[in-house]
Amino acid sequence: MGIQERKLLEKEKRRKSILKSARKVFKKVGFENSSMDLIAEEAQLSKGTLYLYFKSKDDLFINSLLEDQLITLDNLFKQSEQKLNSVVDIILAYTDSYYDFTEKFPDFFNLLVGINSSESLNIENLSSDTKAKINDLEKKIFMERVKVFQRGIEEGIFEEKFSACYAVTQLWVSITGAIHLSKKPQLNVMFENINTREFVKDITKLFLISFSNSEELKKDFLKDIWNNAIIQAPSAIHKHISLDNSLDDNNMNLKCHPKQ
């Protein structure tokens, strides 16, 4: 092994050691209460050394999660592809896998949404290498799923003019938004008594109904969605309405349950 190769290996070893120490600190005190000083102390390095590897605490935080958890998400999707043959079953399994991922890694899901919306994270605090890494990993996950949708076109499940890239984007954004909104405390009334997993899966079924060529599939999925609408309809609508004395008698007849 040459001197240059040895230096690169040592640099990568130190980088991983810093990330390991950062994970410990973030887990122990949380992102807001952590600092580069605490991480440097945990890593037994100077703070200046940390800045040789990472631009900021934000940059370090994202890198401490990014490599493990975006790769984990990709692996969850791959497992669905390996276990199932039907394109439709794989797409439905994607939804379950993604939902499981957001439940297991809620902080990272919120961070990922923040990265994409620029709301909860200062993008300027990320190094160009980190931004490139995020883009590369997301692109890899995206394009692998596009291949499955393209297979659906080739098998006649979707129309030949159907855009696989558009479809993956539309579905991903839809279920991400649904999951994200369901976790907002101010929307508790909206999601009361609703099984979020089934709700998100119904979004995927609506998507498949819109683009599938199969009348049998459309019939089965419409039945599933209708049954869920009956089972999961909020039961406390009168309680919420009664809290607002400004509502008139006509409004008091509102029902979330369909007529039995």
Query: What are the tens digits of pLDDT across the range 196-205?
Result: 899 999 999 9
CATH 1.10.357.10 positions along the chain are: 54-253
Rounded distance between C-alpha atoms, residue 178 and residue 204, angstroms: 11
pTM for the full model? 0.74
CA torsion sign, 223 to 228 to 231 to 234? negative
Report the 3 state secondary structure along 217-229. Answer: HHHHHHHHHHHHH
CA torsion sign, 20 to 25 to 30 to 32? negative
Task: Report residue 127's pLDDT band, with 50, 70 and 90 as the boundaries.
Answer: confident
pLDDT reading at 250 higher than 70 = no
At the top level of CATH, the class of 1-53 is mainly alpha
Q: What torsion do the CA atoms of 197, 198, 201, 202 make, to the nearest 10 degrees?
A: -150
Question: Which residues fall within 8 angstroms of residue 127, CB to CB, at 6 or more apart?
Answer: 54, 55, 59
Out of 3.90.45.10, 3.30.1540.20, 1.10.357.10, 1.10.8.60, the CATH code matching 54-253 is 1.10.357.10
CATH 1.10.10.60 positions along the chain are: 1-53
Asked whether 155 and 147 are in contact (CB, 8 A), the reply is no
pLDDT of residue 169: 92
Report pLDDT digits (tens) over 96-109.
999 999 998 887 78
Question: Which residues fall within 8 angstroms of residue 3, CB to CB, at 6 or more apart?
Answer: none
pLDDT reading at 75 higher than 80 = yes
Rounded distance between C-alpha atoms, residue 140 and residue 84, angstroms: 21
Mapped onto helix, strand or coil, the DSSP state of residue 181 is helix
